[in-house]
Amino acid sequence: MSDGIYLAANVFVDRLNEQGQSMGQIIGPINTTKLSIKAEAESKPRISNKKASKGQALDDIKIAKPAAIGWEFDDQPAELVAMALMGEVQTINEASGTLTDKPVTLPANNSWVAVGHNNFASEGLVVSQAATELVMGTDYEFNYALGLIRALPGGAVNGGGSITVTGQYNAVSGKRIRGGTKSQTRLRLFGEGENLTNGKRMKFDIYDASMMPSSEMDLSGSDYVSGALEGTAKLPPGKNEPYVVDELTDS
């Protein structure tokens, strides 16, 4: 039977608080493109100053250093994006409402201006200048999702000026990632899988890793958005090792 390792694994992550305790939300399995553990040690040589052996090592001991952890993934639920952006997730719950003759001043250079709300319904929008209703696509352009309006060249308000906006904006719910609010991310990374070379089951558990982003997150690239974190494995209280990798033999 082969002793090589080629692992198909289900990876789970549990975000920890500043005290290293679970925050009660385990996410997974996550499509993980890299999960690396680099065991490291520091060399402590005793160097000879004797005439015959000056510069040679009389002794050299190795002292373990914290293991380096690398994790990359291309599943992107909000919780994982927050980790890659050193942030946290906040619930969005905005109510619907109506604008009635909301005064807006259009710039004279045909640039966009915000009307004060977003997620507008496409039906029922009325834009007027004084008592004259303006024509969408001729006099102005409106971005419903962002609540932006601008005058169109050659239209009735080409030179800008005061208008009013009447319309319905819809309720919005979801998740907001508040980036840059956390100096570090503490995670438990664990999972199970199958070694495809010999069919044996494997389990792994990195109890507490202090992580930070190791690359940029490109939100407008030509490939799937991915996240990457790197850091060190910590030795939690009550444990004799910072991580374990188990090869299992079923009875």
The Cα 144–Cα 155 span in angstroms is 20
Q: Tell whether the model's pLDDT for residue 250 goes beyond 80.
A: no
The Cα 188–Cα 193 span in angstroms is 17
pLDDT of residue 63: 93
7-43+63-90+177-248 is a CATH 2.30.110 domain:
yes
CA distances from 235 to 45, 171, 182, 207, 247 (A): 26, 46, 22, 8, 21
pLDDT of residue 183: 82
Q: Tell whether the model's pLDDT for residue 2 goes beyond 60.
A: yes
**At 218, is the pLDDT very low, low, confident or very high (cuts 50, 70, 90)?**
confident
Condensed to tens digits (0 to 9), the pLDDT of residues 18-76 reads 888 999 989 999 999 999 999 999 999 999 999 999 999 999 999 999 999 999 999 88
- What's the mean pLDDT in 79-101? 93
Condensed to tens digits (0 to 9), the pLDDT of residues 170-191 reads 999 999 999 988 888 999 999 9
Phi, psi of 232 (to 5 degrees): -130, 150
76 vs 246, higher pLDDT: 246
pLDDT of residue 223: 87
The Cα 56–Cα 50 span in angstroms is 9
Token readout for 145 is 């999702």
pLDDT of residue 1: 61
DSSP state, residue 134:
P
Task: Provide the 3-class DSSP secondary structure of residue 84.
Answer: helix
pLDDT over 90 for what percent of the chain?
77
pLDDT of residue 39: 92
Q: Tell whether the model's pLDDT for residue 106 goes beyond 80.
A: yes
The Cα 167–Cα 69 span in angstroms is 52
pTM greater than 0.75 = yes
Tokens 């169109």 map to which residue?
A: 152
pLDDT of residue 217: 86
Domain parsing of the chain, residue ranges = 7-43+63-90+177-248, 96-170
The Cα 227–Cα 217 span in angstroms is 6
